[in-house]
């Protein structure tokens, strides 16, 4: 499936913008919108080599409200078994998820307005689950390695930057103090960091 060239640059004034970039073998994309919006799906990198034992790679974007932006990019190396989901309600929320490698999982849920998430997963079997409610939350995260886990919840005017570099690291953060930026840098294996 290919997107005609005249549709490759959507109108930025549209109520919502949703983009899924897929590559590798055997993939699926699902875009759902609860209000009038423009949806652009670029599956030009899609390929199926006829291998029945290949794991499914999937991306889902659901948006309700106005002026959201969501990008899920799974094209970089043709990884398998990556799954990404973005759910946004409210207004002017943005989510950017990049998955490089295999078997990575990313889930982003944002409610209310002016929240932003940028996640990059490089490696195998990394997992991130982000929930942001309230207004003005910002999350930037990198998982690099194997088996890293991040569970993050923010409620209003919070900013978190995290790096998990290594294997089997765990990061749990819930409801940090408003207006106090948090930066976490984990390098190594089997490290657990928790803040409640």
Q: What 3 state SS string does 51-92 have?
A: CCCCCCEEEEEEEEEECEEEEEEECCCCCCCCEEEEEEEEEC
What percentage of the chain carries pLDDT values higher than 70?
70
* 112-127 residues labelled b (16+ CB within 10 A) or e (exposed): bbbbbbbbbbbbbbbb
Q: Which residues pair with 128 in a beta bridge?
A: 106, 150
Identify each DSSP E strand in the chain by its residue range: 16-22, 27-33, 40-42, 57-66, 68-74, 83-91, 94-102, 105-110, 116-124, 127-133, 138-146, 149-155, 159-167, 170-174, 182-189, 192-195
- pLDDT the model gives residue 75: 73
pLDDT, residue 165, reads: 98
Confidence of residue 20 (pLDDT cuts 50, 70, 90): low
pLDDT score of 48: 39
Handedness of CA 51, 81, 32, 92 (dihedral sign): negative
CA distance 190 to 67: 40
Q: What is the pLDDT of residue 23?
A: 47
Q: What is the pLDDT of residues 50-108, one digit of tens each?
A: 343 446 788 899 999 999 999 999 876 667 889 999 999 999 999 999 999 999 999 99
Query: Which of residues 8 and 55 earns the better pLDDT score?
Result: 55
How far apart CA 195 and CA 158 sit, in angstroms, is 14
When mean pLDDT is compared across 18-22, 88-92, 144-148, 169-173, the lowest value belongs to 18-22
The model's pLDDT over 33-42, given as tens digits with 9 standing for 90+, comes to 444 343 444 3
What does the pLDDT average to over 19-28?
Answer: 48
Indicate the range of 21-30, 113-122, 153-162 predicted with least confidence: 21-30
């Amino acid at each position: 499936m290919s997107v005609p060239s005249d549709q490759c640059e959507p109108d930025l004034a549209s109520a919502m913008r949703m983009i899924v970039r897929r590559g590798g073998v055997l993939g699926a994309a699902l875009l759902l919108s609860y209000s009038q919006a423009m949806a652009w799906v670029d599956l030009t990198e899609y390929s199926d080599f006829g291998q029945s034992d290949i794991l499914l790679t999937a991306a889902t974007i659901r948006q309700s409200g106005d002026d959201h932006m969501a990008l899920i990019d799974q094209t970089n190396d043709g990884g398998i078994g990556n799954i990404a989901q973005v759910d946004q309600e409210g207004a002017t929320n943005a989510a950017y998820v990049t998955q490089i490698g295999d078997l990575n999982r990313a889930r982003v849920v944002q409610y209310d307005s002016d929240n932003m998430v940028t996640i990059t997963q490089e490696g195998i079997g990394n997992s991130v689950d982000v929930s942001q409610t309230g207004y003005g939350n910002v999350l930037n995260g990198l998982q690099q390695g194997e088996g890293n886990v991040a569970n993050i919840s923010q409620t209003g005017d919070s900013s978190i930057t995290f790096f998990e570099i290594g294997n089997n690291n765990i990061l749990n953060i819930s409801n940090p103090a408003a207006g106090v930026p948090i930066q976490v840098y984990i390098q190594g294996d089997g490290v657990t960091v928790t803040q409640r």
